[in-house]
Amino acid sequence: MPFAQPGLADPRADEIMHSFMGKLETRKIAATAAAPLDRLTVIATAQSLCTAAGASAIIVPALRIEQSSFHGASYAELRLDVVGCNGQVLAKALATANFKRITIRNFGADAVDVSEQAMDQALAQLFPT
């Protein structure tokens, strides 16, 4: 599932998703991005989602980013759930990351950077090498 919610526009969601797909590819995990769905819909329709994508499981991300408007600090909290095709949660990971700068630079780029740091930790929990 993508880093997006139905009906909510996030200008960084596509870039964060692109980065996540690259990290999955690096770990030799074949993945296909789906249309945005809320997590309850994913669980309720897991079998049809898996069948349509030829998938054996679904990775469902939940990302929260906080950024200070006073200084260059960014914080990300990423939760990844692996949902089986039967709708059951098979595995969970939770990771946080802090990205600090002395001055404000580019909030969008920093949001992606801090998300990537959290991705590395969460993926290491789910798929240790």
pLDDT tens per residue, range 74-125: 788 999 999 999 999 999 999 998 877 655 666 666 778 888 889 999 999 9
pLDDT tens per residue, range 13-66: 788 899 999 999 999 999 988 888 888 999 999 999 999 999 999 999 988 888
Total residues found in the chain within this entry: 129
Residues ≥6 apart with Cβ < 8 Å to 86: 46, 47
DSSP string computed for 55-110: -SEEEEEEEEEEE-SSSS-EEEEEEEEEEETTS-EEEEEEEEEEE--SS---HHHH
| Domain ranges (residues) in the chain | 13-126
Architecture of domain 13-126: 3-Layer(aba) Sandwich (3.40)
- According to the model, what pLDDT value does residue 10 have? 65
Does residue 10 sit in helix, strand or coil? coil
Nearest to 51 by CA among 71, 73, 34, 68: 34
- According to the model, what pLDDT value does residue 13 have? 79
- According to the model, what pLDDT value does residue 56 have? 95
